[in-house]
Chain A
């Protein structure tokens, strides 16, 4: 019996240690944030929600921040534009990344490890530096800026409203989306590649044998089978993009309000902690559906594997 107890104790430790750690450092902070978001700010600290006053419990909940978020059109439009930019970035990553991953997966088997390495290399290089690199490329006289101007594309971009005017490519919606797409592209390619590389090519042969054209086979077989990869990639791009801070700060401008920046400014510039918390809680609520989808998908994939 003691052997059994020892085995159970071991198991309790293996599960318990990370569990407790996460509960304390991941779950508990969320509860703290929720609490602060409904607290009143008192100079540099905040009042307790529940206090003992005059022999009775007094609640001092302040939902004012949330009301402000809902009523103030600026906050609302920031939320909307964050979702919009994240969605556009995800679509672009998918459009560029899916064919990329597909061609990688169909390349010669001896070539694939090298291709994978070439995709991983930027991923391992500091993302901050690569975003900074775009800053250099898009600022006046930058290589890419000059190329775009030379091709006359900047006027097309201006017509689309992506840049305020010809020649001003930096700190615009264009530079922001470009930067985010660039940064998150490997996050889309890798799960897609992993999924597509494992696909059984004989399924396509069977389809062809049964009379499907290559185009039909692609849409009816390859794409549905790669759904797990698409969902994983899309979530890995969309959710972090919604709350991005660094890229909007370096490449975005006054036109591109993102909620990550708002949170940062509320906290660091305005020192309004309850407000920052309210923004954070709202952000969590915004992304909780995609996060749940992602988590559920991961669980399904894991279940199928084990």
Chain B
């Protein structure tokens, strides 16, 4: 890995009227990466993207692309292109003219422009629609034109603003894969902004979870999901059971956390002090539920850990899996997600007594 990262964001701050939208953000993005900024609305991700594009100026900090400081460069002078959430296709121009727009601004010869437009149309499989106007296209087709237009100038950096936000669910699933494939084929470095975790996890190679203008955690999708470093991130991505407790035993190969109504045996050591307050995070799909008490867990000292009995308070059938809310005697609710691996396998129902159990490799201990 070269010492100079492709895109360097250093200590960038953006203030709007005393409201800090982006709070001292720094990150290095490598060439060819697909980097996602994930967060709910108002977290600053769109502001950061717009600063990259040149529509906003950082209050302080630097942004460097390929060694070149972007400060003072207006959007039309930057070697990057953006795909907008609303697609922003020019309604008075045809599809071909939309794609050719950026190329014409560069003053390329007509023949080259035509060739490039054709190549782009082929890339997004809209060759037959070159002469149509945007309002004559469906939502999915418009999105592809927007993508083609943003790739036409072979930008060094592609910026995506909620690329799938305007599509309905079915279309979104189909397009996610396609979009990821096209970006990979073209090989362009990509920064995308989204509030949809699925989108971020399927399309990005690295995700930054943002909240209130700050990066909370940066890492590959699996890393973010399986090893969150804070309660917020654990809670933000997917579903999770967060259980507060006290660190009772701390060894190199295991720790014990006492949460009062249940006890965790976690199969790895952490750096901490005995008696400190921690939170144990366990994802619902990693907890098993059954009517009978579970078999002893491998790697766990005895049957006093990683299991608890309760009553099924609620359950929801999702087709491919079922979610159970198991209520313990203490009143705590444990969320459990079980795949329906056999047809008509549902044996538990409301009010049943059941046991939840989990492996010592399923937990993450959080100290913040």
Contact = CB atoms under 8 A, between A and B. Distances in A.
Is chain B in direct contact with chain A in the complex (CB below 8 A)?
A: yes
Contacts of A121: none
Contacts of B74: 3-4, 7
A10 to B, nearest CB: 12
B69 to A, nearest CB: 13
A3 B77 CA distance: 10
A1 B73 CA distance: 8
A243 B72 CA distance: 53
What class of interface size applies to chain A in its complex with B? under 10
Given A4-B72, A4-B74, A7-B74, 5 more contacts: A1-B72, A3-B72, A3-B73, A3-B74, A3-B77
A234 B244 CA distance: 64
Interface of B is mostly: loop
Interface of A is mostly: helix
Contacts, number: 8
Interface string A160-196: 0000000000000000000000000000000000000
Contacts of A1: 72
Contacts of B72: 1, 3-4
8 contacts: A1-B72, A3-B72, A3-B73, A3-B74, A3-B77, A4-B72, A4-B74, A7-B74
Interface in B50-91: 72-74, 77
A166 B203 CA distance: 86
Interface string A284-305: 0000000000000000000000
Contacts of A3: 72-74, 77
A3 B87 CA distance: 27
Contacts of B77: 3
B4 to A, nearest CB: 25
A216 B73 CA distance: 59
Nearest to A4: B72
Nearest to A6: B74
B96 to A, nearest CB: 30
Interface in B217-269: none
Interface string A134-176: 0000000000000000000000000000000000000000000
A1 B74 CA distance: 10
B105 to A, nearest CB: 15
Contacts of A7: 74
Interface in A249-294: none
